[in-house]
């Protein structure tokens, strides 16, 4: 498979300006989807919080949830005066490694830990480790193509772009997608940009392709990009900045970064193109199931969502998790973790839609609060 030439030095390192911009706007404000936008009710209300314990708490991991963690931290400080969390956004792989190495109090991951990672986490805790979902957000198929700002892609076409099966923007397969007939698609190479670091966003994106375009995407999933084409950039900011600076580029990135020169494509799963928006993502959550039903490990099974064809539902999303011990050896850590997670699941959810995330629905909030209460 042909590897594309490097994009050059532009934007491989994330700029502080993009970080600030992503924190202060709603990238989905101008998006609209097809079909009904009936969505699951968002989490509301407050919960009793037993403040105190270790401060600052330490966390590390997912870059996708960094802006949400900042929101949670502000709400936590207001609810529990003097308490705060220091969170280092280094990527899901690093976060899991640091948590399992007992270097941080909780880890942040864009996909639930399992297998060897879960075994290592359980060994570190001396008790079961749990995946606690707190942040839901869309993954954008973000592109930069001069003169084209209303592109629709099917899962099959997306898969062919990211595994090298489609190499040019004027490929007949792209033109044939409903909604693209009138677009002036240029004779220009597609420059694929992927995450160079291990990332839960990569894992979720590849799982989506495996579920929604299983006959095309045979590369499998995992936190490393398996497509074999294009170039890599570090972190969410890195891929977004690279695409912004390269006409003809495309990537997968959290919805909060699809702005300022990075346009999110609509996705047509069979019922027409659906735009990335909080309402359209929330509609997809109606079909969410859990991998470990009946337990407080709330790892979600998203394959049903990825392969669905619900009119008006945006299916490409990720859920970020806080990886925690069900039982901590240090009571001060346990108390602070429970307080922080309780605030994050309640007051902390309300501002998230303005940051490009989707507040968790009430049904999920209830499960999260039950799990948090059980931490000891």
Annotated binding site for phosphate: 62-64, 92, 110, 199-201
Counting runs of H as helices and runs of E as strands, what totals does the chain give?
A: 12, 14
Q: Are 133 and 370 in contact (CB under 8 A)?
A: no
The annotated binding site is made up of 62-64, 92, 110, 199-201
The three-class DSSP label of residue 275 is coil
* Residues recorded for the chain: 376
Strands 266-268 and 152-153: parallel
The three-class DSSP label of residue 216 is coil
Alpha helices in the chain, H assignment, sequence order: 16-23, 66-79, 92-100, 115-125, 155-162, 172-175, 200-212, 235-244, 278-284, 303-306, 331-345, 362-374
The three-class DSSP label of residue 373 is helix
Residue matched to tokens 């044939």: 176
């Amino acid at each position: 498979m042909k590897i594309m030439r490097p994009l050059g030095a532009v934007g491989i390192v994330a700029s502080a300006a993009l970080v600030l911009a992503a924190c202060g706007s709603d990238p989905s404000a101008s998006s609209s989807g097809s079909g009904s936008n009936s969505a699951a009710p968002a989490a509301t209300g407050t919960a009793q919080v037993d403040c105190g314990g270790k401060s600052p708490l330490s966390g590390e991991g997912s870059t996708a949830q960094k802006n949400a963690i900042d929101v949670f931290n502000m709400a936590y400080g207001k609810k529990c005066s003097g308490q705060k969390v220091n969170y280092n956004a280094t990527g899901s792989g690093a976060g899991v490694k640091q948590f399992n190495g007992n270097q941080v109090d909780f880890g942040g991951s864009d996909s639930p830990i399992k297998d060897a990672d879960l075994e290592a986490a359980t060994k570190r805790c001396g008790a079961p480790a749990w995946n606690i979902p707190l942040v839901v957000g869309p993954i954008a198929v973000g592109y930069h193509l001069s003169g084209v700002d209303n592109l629709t892609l099917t899962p099959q076409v997306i898969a062919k772009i990211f595994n090298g099966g489609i190499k040019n923007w004027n490929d007949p397969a792209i033109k044939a997608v409903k909604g693209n007939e009138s677009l002036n698609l240029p004779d220009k190479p597609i420059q694929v940009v992927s995450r160079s670091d291990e990332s839960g966003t990569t894992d979720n994106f590849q799982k989506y392709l495996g579920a929604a375009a299983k006959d095309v995407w045979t590369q499998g999933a995992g936190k490393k990009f398996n497509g074999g084409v294009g170039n890599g950039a570090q972190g969410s900011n890195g891929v977004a900045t690279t695409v912004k600076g390269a006409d003809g580029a495309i990537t997968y990135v959290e919805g909060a970064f699809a702005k300022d020169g990075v346009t999110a494509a609509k996705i047509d799963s069979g019922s027409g193109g659906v735009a990335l928006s909080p309402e359209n993502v929330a509609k997809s959550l109606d079909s969410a199931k859990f991998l470990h039903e009946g337990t407080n490990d709330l790892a979600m099974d998203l394959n049903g969502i990825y392969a669905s064809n619900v009119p008006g539902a945006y299916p490409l999303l990720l859920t970020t998790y806080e990886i925690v011990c069900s039982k901590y050896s240090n009571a001060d850590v346990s108390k602070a973790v429970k307080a922080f997670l309780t605030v994050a699941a309640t007051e902390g959810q309300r501002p998230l839609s303005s940051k490009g995330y989707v507040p968790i629905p009430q049904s999920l909030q209830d499960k999260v609060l039950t799990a948090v209460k059980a931490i000891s």
